[in-house]
Structure 1
Amino acid sequence: MELGIALVGFGNVAQGLARILIRKRDLLTTRYGIIPVVKAVVTGSKGTLWDPSGLDLEAVLDSMADLENLSGVSALPATIDEILKGDEISVVVDTTPTDLVTGEPGLSIIKRAIESGKHVVSSSKGPVSVALPELTDLATRHGVAYRFEGALLSGTPSINLAMEAMAGCDVVKVQGIVNGTTNYILTRMEEGMGYEDALAEAQDRGYAETDPSGDVDGWDAAVKAQIIASVIMGEPISLDQVERRGISEISRSDVLAALDRGNRIKLIAQVERRGRDVVASVSPMELPLDHPLAGVMGATNAITYETDNLKDVTIVGPGAGREETGQALLADLLAIFRERGGLVVRRSA
């Protein structure tokens, strides 16, 4: 069955998905009975590509610097609203940049897609942080799915693991290394670097932005703690309810002193039930070296779920990367197809 896809945003993550779809097209058809066809690519600065018969993804990837001159592509419809009007698109994949204050531009795009009867797969944290209850209610009313596996640990299947593979378990506590940048910095400090040098190296490697405050001050980890509380623990909280402290005040001497005590400092997002409340925090913590998260080094993410039926379950994997995060998008696409029994488009009345 054909699955018509619109990619909204075409940066690293969407390009990673595109490369996976090219490489695994035949396998997706033979194994899952799905023919993924990208019919639209909507960008913020390079315009929109649209072809209802399907875009040549290899040509699109090769022409990133000059999309508007790509041959064989219809110029109309030219806007996301026009693209959403017809039945050609089944799923909108949103990979737009995250704004943790407004949720835009992804929030408006996701709403318009859902209201048009389209499923939505997104890697953007902003809409989840700002408007998760609203978006899930809207999706339910319009009979479509809204999935966002890539918003938590990028390519590592953390939400699907907790909500699907561990269905029936009560999750009572979650601890996670959910920001690869800070984990890389702490690792390099343990290996001999000072904080400023480790941060500069992280920036050189593309792990940290020019303004690294979102990572080192704990904001990225805090919104992920909020997602854990709201989605996995079932207790929606606001971002300002997450107690937050980053790693900018951690020195190399702090790291080495912890090691002398048989511990390792990690920036930990922690969410736990305390009576009827769910409490979320982000802070540097000293973990014993035999803790499952203590040995996670470099720009790697990991999360430990403390449950009633399975006790502790830990998953370790990549927290960034083009195809790694693209895999999270693909997993959500396949989950929608599987859950809907192959019925990918559901029109609202």
Structure 2
Amino acid sequence: MTTKIAFIGFGGVGQALAKLLDERSQSLRNKYGLETEVVAVSDVMKGSIYHPDGLNTQKLLDTVRETGNVENYPDQPGIIKGWNSLETIQNSNADMIVEVTFTDVKTGQPAIDHHKAAFENKKSVVTTNKGPVALAYNELNELAEQNGVFWGFEGTVMSGTPALRMPVTTLAGNEIHEIKGILNGTTNYILTEMEKGQSYDGALKKAQELGYAEADPTSDVEGYDARYKAAILSNYLMGTPVSAEDIPCEGISNITQEMIQQALKENKKWRLLARVTKENGNVTASIKPEKIDADDPLAGVTGSTNAILYECDLAGPILLTGAGAGLIETGYSLLIDIIHYQKQNALAKI
């Protein structure tokens, strides 16, 4: 059975997924029985288009690349243009909503409303938006379960590196009593550049030039991005809701070159660490720079790489490293979720 997909948001990540689905359609069909068809796109900047029988993905990508607007897609009978995001979710025949809009992390909007509309209309959702998972996990998870639909958000913590599904599946049976990690590549890049002698301002400027940091780097350097990811880890892996706003948070903007060099003399390194700890049934979380021993596994993680260490009661410490950003990697995280959705559907039919 073909999975009909509607993209809500069609920036770099959405286009990367569309390209993956198109280029790998045969192998996805052969390996997983996964057949997909893009029926709709709704994007605030790039317009909106819907056809119940599907759109040609390559034509869609070419249209966006050449004109910047999906509504310039060649006309054909049955095409509808101009729907907003909620109309696309509610009125299209999509089975799966790919929610990749630009969302305010402080409010989780408009992504939270997109999720609610999808679930209420019995449509599954895959997303890379942190806001809905960090701020409304319990409400949205309950709504998805009530309506018997799938919700995938693998890419919200470490992009295409499976920081969420890996511990749930391959570490099943373990009690994870602490998760600590480097969950922001921008800050890790800055700190490792400072270890090479760069000033904080110089390292930040270089990170911006390379596209690791935004023009306004506040969310990264003050630890807010990592704080939302810590909330997601607590919600999903520890089974305990922790409000992002309640997580103590300190960034790296006060780290000086002198502090970096002093740590190196002590055979230590500064890293911005997210910690989520479960003790006696209580879960606490924090984000702050920590001076850790040079032989600590996380001290060896350099540049923009992310890493996460799961402290397990049976398996011991398990370290997972990988890219925490990138268009292809983030698009791939959505593909992971769609494949998992397909596997669940296949099992349900047995």
SS at match of 2:173: coil
CA RMSD of aligned residues (A): 1.6
2:319 is matched with 314
* Residue 79 (structure 1) shift: 3.7
State which drifts further: 169-178 or 286-295. Answer: 286-295
Amino acid of the residue matched to residue 100 of structure 1? Answer: V
* Residue 286 (structure 1) shift: 1.4
Kept after mapping to 2: 8 A contact 1:77/1:83? no
Amino acid of the residue matched to residue 122 of structure 2? Answer: G
1:330 is matched with 335
How many pairs align? 344
* TM-score in terms of structure 1 length: 0.95
SS at match of 1:16: helix
* Residue 83 (structure 1) shift: 3.6
1:109-124 to 2 correspondences below 5 Å: 109-124=114-129
SS at match of 1:297: coil
* Residue 81 (structure 1) shift: 4.1
Q: Deviations over 1:138-163 (max 9, x none)?
A: 00110111111111111110000112
1:253 is matched with 258
2:75 is matched with 72
Amino acid of the residue matched to residue 23 of structure 1? Answer: E
Higher RCO, 1 vs 2 (CA within 8 Å, ≥6 residues apart): 1
1:196 is matched with 201
Show structure 2 runs of 5+ residues with no match.
Answer: none
State which drifts further: 96-105 or 29-38. Answer: 96-105
Matched-pair identity in %: 39
State which drifts further: 51-60 or 232-241. Answer: 51-60
Distance 1:220 1:269, change over 3 A: same
2:7 is matched with 7
Amino acid of the residue matched to residue 42 of structure 2? Answer: V
Kept after mapping to 2: 8 A contact 1:229/1:235? yes
Inter-partner Cα distance in structure 1 for 2:60 and 2:54: 11
Amino acid of the residue matched to residue 107 of structure 1? Answer: I
Does residue 1:26 correspond to 2:34, yes or no?
no
2:286 is matched with 281
Does residue 1:183 correspond to 2:204, yes or no?
no
2:57 is matched with 57
Amino acid of the residue matched to residue 128 of structure 1? Answer: V
1:347 is matched with none
Amino acid of the residue matched to residue 36 of structure 1? Answer: T
Corresponding residue to 1:94 among 99, 105, 118 = 99
Distance 1:300 1:134, change over 3 A: same
Inter-partner Cα distance in structure 2 for 1:85 and 1:265: 48
Inter-partner Cα distance in structure 2 for 1:334 and 1:87: 22
* Residue 66 (structure 1) shift: 3.3
Distance 1:87 1:248, change over 3 A: closer
Corresponding residue to 1:146 among 148, 151, 159 = 151
Corresponding residue to 1:291 among 296, 299, 316 = 296
* Residue 85 (structure 1) shift: 4.5
State which drifts further: 196-205 or 73-82. Answer: 73-82
Does residue 1:205 correspond to 2:210, yes or no?
yes
* Residue 51 (structure 1) shift: 2.0
Amino acid of the residue matched to residue 182 of structure 1? Answer: T
Inter-partner Cα distance in structure 2 for 1:331 and 1:149: 8
State which drifts further: 85-94 or 231-240. Answer: 85-94
State which drifts further: 249-258 or 168-177. Answer: 249-258
Kept after mapping to 1: 8 A contact 2:182/2:274? yes
Amino acid of the residue matched to residue 215 of structure 1? Answer: D
SS at match of 1:245: coil
Corresponding residue to 2:230 among 225, 228, 242 = 225
Q: Deviations over 1:200-241 (max 9, x none)?
A: 111111111111100000000011111111111111011122
Show structure 1 runs of 5+ residues with no match.
Answer: 345-349
Q: Deviations over 1:158-195 (max 9, x none)?
A: 00011222121111001110001101111111112100
* Residue 77 (structure 1) shift: 7.4
State which drifts further: 117-126 or 202-211. Answer: 202-211
* Residue 274 (structure 1) shift: 2.7
Q: Deviations over 1:292-349 (max 9, x none)?
A: 11111111111000011111111100000011011110111111111122769xxxxx
Q: Deviations over 1:93-149 (max 9, x none)?
A: 101123222210100011000110011111000111221100000001101111111
Distance 1:235 1:85, change over 3 A: closer
